[in-house]
Amino acid sequence: MYRHLPKVFICSAPFKSHSFRRVRSRLSACVACLRWLSTSSLIGPDNVVRSNLPDINLPTNVPFHQFLFEKCDQYKNLVAVEDYLSGQKYSFGQLKEKSMRVASGLHRLGYCKGDVMAVYSCNQIDYTVLLLACAATGLWFSALNPSSTPDELRRHIVHSGSKAVFATPNCVASVSKALKLVKPQESQVKDLFVFGEAEGFRPFQTLLDDNGQMFPDVDINPVEDVFILPYSSGTTGLPKGVMLTHYNCLANCLQIASSIPTTPDDRALGLLPMFHIYGMVVVQLSVILGGASVVYLPKFVPETFLQCLQDKHISLAHLVPPLVLFLSKMPSVSQYNLKSLKRVICGAAPLGVEVTLELLKKLDHGITVNQAAGMTELSPVFTIDTTSTPGSAGHFVVNTLGKIVDTDTHEPLGTGGVGEICVKGPQIMKGYFKDKQTTDSIIDPDGWMHTGDIGHVSPDGLLYIQDRLKELIKYKGFAVAPAELEALLLGHPDVQDVAVLGVPSEECGELPKAFVVKKPGSKVQEHELVKYIEDRTAYINRLRGGVQFIADIPKSPSGKILRRVLRQTFL
């Protein structure tokens, strides 16, 4: 086996009476040899890459709530979730008890396995209660951005076939408007619940007050039965329901824990929105499985964010690049004592090397900054950096295989070869809801998920993400679908044709920008179209990159927008 090693790595000669310097040199060579052996073995002769950590046992016969309830018994008296602004908190024991009460209440109202619950809420501790109650009842938990417009809510309610809607008081008006837009034959909604009080909505407290005696005994097949139904734009187009099973979610939480272990000594920041898969699974569920507590914030307010990090002695912060940029550049950060913060994990979009180094320089008390890569369809994590290598998305997580394939031939590429990132593992979704054709287009017959991301793998098995094949725009870690904005703009009476691209932004990642062809004789102005979109979509979808008027939209013979040509010409 040694004939393939570089000569400097061959350590067959015994250490005799060498000088200290020569001994140290030889020892260094031996260490390098071992490191070379351990990392080079991550990439097989077929160019398939495995994790740098050994595989673990992932139970296929345990529903998610059952696994977590056992953790609740183990950490019964410790704080599981806490709301920073109100001070309200639940211990692990209370989290289990309240989840069982809500499950009983839902069962009492006639909800049963397979029913979909639509949830429009900011981060708060009863969110976690409802999530676990749905798991225990076999219900599908389907969340959407609470700032969504009534029309976006309508589409979600109709497409998901939701039987009940849960909302915070500030979302009640939008939900009511959305339901008025739903045709009678399309609606399956039986009940409306509110986390608080609102006219026409049943208080969530009525479920918390249930006596728990109708807690259901549901037969759940963890591998087949859906637990959560988040909506993602997938690799292209309008939002799609992503069916994630109990096994998908539990497997990914355990995979994450292998790279980012938590203990009861940890306090994690719960700022990233839980309607997003990153907040729901990574920030929330994977953390409490280790006995750590999550401190929730409903939204980003600079002073509150920093005060929470300081007051609650946060040790683990899951962030996105704009928040890392804030910590690294804002002078006010130095006014707070953040020495409790030990680990920063950044995901949802690539984090630049320069920003990483700036944060390490600013918070110089010994923190680590690591990246993770994921997508909703992968529950969501498939790589985590455990080596603190700036710019790298890390190694593939345990029980996961990866490969880079040529975008034209789909043949696997060797180290350094740039192509599409493909992933195989237990975290791959069951499929898109009501869309087998699109499911089959990104999960090949051999079980590989084609992510639509472009990157390469280094000789030591680290993944570097460079670009995206897919057309999605990443604004502050959120996916903005160009097709959705294009469809809206094409509804404007002065717009003849349009294409939307993401323009680079150091602070936000990308900003949606519209390239518009006016109808003949039109005098429409940029600000009018920006306002037109602002009035019709969620805040993340606004045209922050502006509008540029052009003569025509380049397209292929089949009518597909040639975004690469647009980008080369105008950006």
Q: Which of 14-28, 98-112, 499-513 has the lowest mean pLDDT?
A: 14-28
- Assign domain 474-570 to its CATH superfamily: ANL, C-terminal domain (3.30.300.30)
- Going by C-alpha positions, the residue among 248, 220, 237 that lies closest to residue 58 is 248
CB atoms under 10 Å from CB of 70, counted, come to 12
Q: What DSSP string describes 61-81?
A: S--HHHHHHHHHHHTTTSEEE
Q: What DSSP string describes 319-347?
A: E-HHHHHHHHH-GGGGGS--TT--EEEE-
This prediction has a pTM of 0.83
Of the CA atoms within 13 Å of residue 360, those in its CB half-sphere come to: 13
* pLDDT at position 492 over 50: yes
Using CA atoms, how far apart are residues 28 and 17, in angstroms rounded to an integer? 17
Q: Which amino acid is at 397?
A: V
Q: Which CATH number fits domain 41-59+246-421+452-470: 3.40.50.720, 3.40.50.300, 3.40.50.12780, 3.40.50.1820?
A: 3.40.50.12780
Mean pLDDT of 269-297: 96
Contact indicator for 162, 142 with CB cutoff of 8 Å: yes
- Going by C-alpha positions, the residue among 177, 181, 175 that lies closest to residue 201 is 175
Render pLDDT for 84-109 as a digit per residue (tens, 0 to 9): 999 999 999 999 999 999 999 999 99
Q: Is pLDDT larger for residue 2 or for residue 558?
A: 558
Write down the domain spans for the chain.
41-59+246-421+452-470, 64-219, 474-570
CATH 3.40.50.12780 fits 64-219, yes or no: yes
Give the burial class of 74: count Cβ atoms within 10 A of its Cβ; 0-12 exposed, 13-18 middle, 19 or more buried. Answer: exposed
Mean pLDDT of 341-347: 96
Q: Which of 7-16, 289-298, 422-431 has the lowest mean pLDDT?
A: 7-16
- pLDDT reported for residue 559: 62
pLDDT grade, residue 11 (50/70/90)?
A: very low
Render pLDDT for 397-442 as a digit per residue (tens, 0 to 9): 999 999 999 988 999 999 999 899 999 999 999 999 999 999 999 9
Structure-token pair, residue 363: 């918070």
* pLDDT at position 462 over 80: yes
pLDDT grade, residue 19 (50/70/90)?
A: very low
Using CA atoms, how far apart are residues 528 and 514, in angstroms rounded to an integer? 12
Give the burial class of 172: count Cβ atoms within 10 A of its Cβ; 0-12 exposed, 13-18 middle, 19 or more buried. Answer: buried
Render pLDDT for 61-89 as a digit per residue (tens, 0 to 9): 999 999 999 999 999 999 999 999 999 99
Mean pLDDT of the residues in the chain: 90
- pLDDT reported for residue 556: 63
- pLDDT reported for residue 20: 38
- pLDDT reported for residue 167: 98
Confirm whether 41-59+246-421+452-470 and 64-219 share one CATH topology. Answer: yes
Instruction: Please state the φ and ψ torsions of residue 205, each to the nearest 5 degrees.
Output: -60, -30
Using CA atoms, how far apart are residues 190 and 187, in angstroms rounded to an integer? 9
What's the 3-state SS for 348-383?
Answer: CCCCCHHHHHHHHHHCCCCCEEEEEEECHHHCCEEE
Render pLDDT for 229-258 as a digit per residue (tens, 0 to 9): 999 864 456 789 999 999 999 999 999 999
User: Euclidean distance between the first and final Cα of the chain, in Å?
Assistant: 51
- pLDDT reported for residue 259: 97
Contact indicator for 249, 64 with CB cutoff of 8 Å: yes
Q: In what order do the strands lie in the sheet with 449-457?
A: 49-50, 401-405, 419-424, 449-457, 463-468
At 463 the three-state DSSP class reads strand
Mean pLDDT of 462-481: 83
Please, which residues bridge with residue 298 across strands?
none
How far is CA 196 from each of CA 89, 205, 553, rounded to the nearest angstrom? 16, 7, 49
Using CA atoms, how far apart are residues 323 and 301, in angstroms rounded to an integer? 11
Q: Which residues contact 58 (CB under 8 A, 6 or more apart)?
A: 247, 250, 251, 254, 255, 399, 426
- pLDDT reported for residue 562: 84
To which residue do tokens 């099973």 refer? Answer: 245
